Amino acid sequence: MRRFFAAPAGRDTATRLICFPHAGGSASYFHPVAKQLTPRFDVLAIQYPGRQERRHEPCIDDIGELADRVTAEIVPLADRPMAFFGHSMGAVVAFEVARRLEERDLAPRVLFASGRRAPSCVRVETVHKEGDQALLAEVRRLGGTDVRMLADPELQSMILPSLRGDYTAIMTYRCTPGATIGAPVVVLTGDRDPHVSTDEAARWKEHTTGAFDLHVFSGGHFYLNDHAAAVMRTITENIPAAQA
């Protein structure tokens, strides 16, 4: 079964950049990334169950199960070097998938962790247990989602199941103590992100035995919408070093 949105790319493209969406997000969020980086990279994005063309499939509300499912789909793509880019919940999913792939000697060459505190940093969060309006209010607070979509009752009914499933998954996630990957980790974060302090972002360093770098941008949780060029630059400058 197809699990990826793929941008056109040349056959001899050196690296596959696999993108992992945020909670409630979909593969189409990464269309601009594909447009900017193709054909230099083969840009793919995970389409989680419960949204867009997969909206009739049950959502997965457990990060471990989601990572297991995604890993199985990525293994056949490991015939060329891979890099992972995950935003928010996607950063954690990417980290867990990288851990599983390393057990098979199929590790990505670099993990870009965007808009998410380190896996070992736990905050008590309960919005996934609250009503629909509380959940929608949280999405509005973070920005990044078209407010017209959030105001339309029909569209709300379409997006709420995936939102609740994803928020349940990420808010109940607990990292295995001491879990690390060997791949370099490049962290990107906004300086006004209500879900990630700079110190929490810096603690990703504890989860890699490889190189680590931290990039702080002005903005909130979806800082990358306002700094697309700089984010693309960060990606392209770090992937070549990972190919050595």
Question: How much of the chain exceeds pLDDT 90, in percent?
Answer: 67
Give the pLDDT mean for 18-23: 95
Q: How far apart are CA 167 and CA 155, in angstroms?
A: 18
Q: Is 113 helix (H, G, I), strand (E, B) or coil?
A: strand
Highest mean pLDDT of the ranges 1-15, 47-61, 111-125, 126-140: 111-125
Per DSSP, the residues of 125-152 read --GGGS-HHHHHHHHHHH--S-HHHHH-
CATH of the domain at 198: 3.40.50.1820
- CA of residue 227 relative to chain centroid, distance: 17
Are 94 and 85 in contact by the 8 Å Cβ rule? The answer is: yes
Inter-residue contact 54 to 27 (CB < 8 Å): no
- The Cα 101–Cα 108 span in angstroms is 8
Q: Where are the alpha helices (DSSP H) in 16-152?
A: 31-37, 63-74, 89-102, 132-142, 147-151
- Which DSSP category does 14 fall into? S
How many domains are there within the chain?
A: 1
Which residues are CB-contacts of 14 (< 8 A; sequence separation ≥ 6)?
41, 80, 81, 243
**Distances 118 to 10, 126, 158, 221 between C-alpha atoms, Å:** 35, 19, 30, 15
What are 176-224's pLDDT values in tens digits? 999 999 999 999 999 999 999 999 999 999 999 999 999 999 999 999 9
pTM: 0.90
DSSP 224: G
pLDDT in tens, 114-160: 999 999 999 888 777 777 788 888 888 777 666 566 666 777 777 88
Give me the domain span that covers residue 224. Answer: 4-242
Residues labelled as active-site residues: 88
Q: Rounded to whole angstroms, what are the CA distances from 49 to 23, 32, 64, 74?
A: 12, 22, 14, 15
> What Rg, from alpha-carbon coordinates, does the chain have?
17
